[in-house]
């Protein structure tokens, strides 16, 4: 199966594109609107695998939401970098779970950020969001109870 990878800010999506993303979360991931609303305010950017070419009409197979976040005092002391890219959600449609799609999306996202984001920055993800990230993808908890981090400081 050939999946297309796209990255787009939610605030820049058309009504049809955002409706498709909302439908993905509501119907394929069993999230209700009350749960989504506080974590889904349009500041995020979506990294998406599509089974097709158009976000307006084709089915979303998996989505990852991320956003810029200002480093906390502790994070600033720990990394000496103020730019944090926080991953808030990683979801795969029920139909495609167990097929490595989430892992492929995460790898594609890491390639995208390392290539396209100004360095240096720190990737941050909650331990409850994507449990398999720590060592496999170069993340470490650096003593945090709640987050994994990955320092990205090279332009290569």
pLDDT in tens, 125-139: 988 887 766 678 999
Quote the mean pLDDT of the chain: 85
The dihedral of CA 38, 69, 61, 10: what is its sign? positive
Look at residue 95 in the predicted model and tell me its pLDDT.
87
pLDDT tens digit sequence for 50-78: 998 889 888 999 999 899 988 999 999 99
- CATH class given for the domain over 4-152: alpha beta
pLDDT at 104 over 70: yes
Percent of the chain residues past pLDDT 90, beyond the cut: 44
Look at residue 80 in the predicted model and tell me its pLDDT.
92
pTM score of the predicted model: 0.87
What average pLDDT score do residues 94-118 get?
A: 91
What average pLDDT score do residues 28-55 get?
A: 73
Residue whose tokens read 């787009």: 8
């Amino acid at each position: 199966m050939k999946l297309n990878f796209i990255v787009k800010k939610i605030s820049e999506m058309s009504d049809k594109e955002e409706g498709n993303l909302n439908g993905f979360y509501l119907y394929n991931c069993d999230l209700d609107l009350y749960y989504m609303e506080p974590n889904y305010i349009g500041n995020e950017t979506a990294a998406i695998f599509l089974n097709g070419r158009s976000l307006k009409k084709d089915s979303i197979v998996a989505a990852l939401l991320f956003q810029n976040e200002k480093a906390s005092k502790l994070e600033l002391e720990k990394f000496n970098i103020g730019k944090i890219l926080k991953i808030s959600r990683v979801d795969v449609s029920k139909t495609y779970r167990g097929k490595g799609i989430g892992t492929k999306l995460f790898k594609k996202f890491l390639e995208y950020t390392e290539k396209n984001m100004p360095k240096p920055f720190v990737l941050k993800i909650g331990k409850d969001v994507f449990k398999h990230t720590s060592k496999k993808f170069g993340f470490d908890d650096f003593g945090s109870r709640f987050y994994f981090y990955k320092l990205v400081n090279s332009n290569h």
